[in-house]
A and B are shown apart, each in its own frame.
Chain A
Amino acid sequence: DAGVIQSPRHEVTEMGQEVTLRCKPISGHNSLFWYRQTMMRGLELLIYFNNNVPIDDSGMPEDRFSAKMPNASFSTLKIQPSEPRDSAVYFCASRQTGGVTEAFFGQGTRLTVV
């Protein structure tokens, strides 16, 4: 398996624009996480899906952020409109629930909003 695949790896956008980050989890994994990492706040959980259903979205900062998982092999995180304070590295991770299983992380998307 190629691991968790995120795209794009880097995104630079102007304030006010819509940004869509994409994630393909590892085949067979039924849990998916979106995290945001900044120097100031470290790693923050944004949202957690289990079997394509959002279980915990309490970390989504505000209504500008939305996440979807239309099927088991794809998820998106959308920011509309984007703001400079959204600049961060966004990580997607997946794992198979049941037993003790680790999460596998993608390489991240580095978002810069100017």
Chain B
Amino acid sequence: AQSVTQLDSHVSVSEGTPVLLRCNYSSSYSPSLFWYVQHPNKGLQLLLKYTSAATLVKGINGFEAEFKKSETSFHLTKPSAHMSDAAEYFCVLDTGRRALTFGSGTRLQVQP
């Protein structure tokens, strides 16, 4: 069975401080993993993807994620939050055998 667990439904940070959004996965197959962002009343946009080429993946807008097989994790980080980062973030698992599996989402609030 495959699943994705986003450990926090809400995260609140101050502008300029680091962001950590946590994601754990379960998969019987070699996974590909993605992070998507959804701003209010918008569609979903790809932030970054892990394809097994490198465990540290850089995405758009300064976001990064590190794939840790031993911990079955793919946490999303950013060194310094901006107000424009306030959005909902989804961790997504793809084993290539069925449609994408979405986590439940983490809502990021950025306080001024």
Using an 8 Å CB-CB cutoff, how does the interface string of B35-67 with A read, 1 for contact, 0 for none?
Answer: 010000011111001011000000000000000
Residue in chain A with minimal CB distance to B101: A45
CB distance from B67 to the nearest CB of A (A): 12
A102 touches B46 (CB 8 A): yes
* Residues in B whose Cβ lies below 8 Å from that of A53: none
B100 touches A91 (CB 8 A): no
Using an 8 Å CB-CB cutoff, how does the interface string of A77-109 with B read, 1 for contact, 0 for none?
Answer: 000000000000001010001001011111110
B90 touches A48 (CB 8 A): no
How many residues belonging to B are interface residues under a CB distance threshold of 8 Å?
20
* Residues in A whose Cβ lies below 8 Å from that of B102: 35, 42-43, 45
A91 touches B43 (CB 8 A): yes
B42 touches A107 (CB 8 A): yes
Residue in chain B with minimal CB distance to A4: B43
* Residues in B whose Cβ lies below 8 Å from that of A45: 99-100, 102
Assuming the contacts A42-B105, A91-B43, asked whether A103 and B100 have C-beta atoms less than 8 A apart, the reply is yes
How many residues belonging to A are interface residues under a CB distance threshold of 8 Å?
19
B43 touches A43 (CB 8 A): no
Using an 8 Å CB-CB cutoff, how does the interface string of A39-71 with B read, 1 for contact, 0 for none?
Answer: 000110100100000011000000000000000
CA distance A100 to B92 in the complex (A): 13
CA distance A66 to B46 in the complex (A): 28
CA distance A48 to B96 in the complex (A): 13
Assuming the contacts A107-B42, A107-B43, asked whether A100 and B51 have C-beta atoms less than 8 A apart, the reply is yes
Q: Which 10 A-B pairs have the closest CB atoms?
A: A48-B99, A100-B51, A105-B43, A105-B44, A100-B32, A107-B43, A102-B46, A43-B102, A42-B104, A45-B99
Chain B residues at the A interface, C-beta cutoff of 8 Å: 32, 34, 36, 42-46, 49, 51-52, 90, 94, 96, 98-100, 102, 104-105
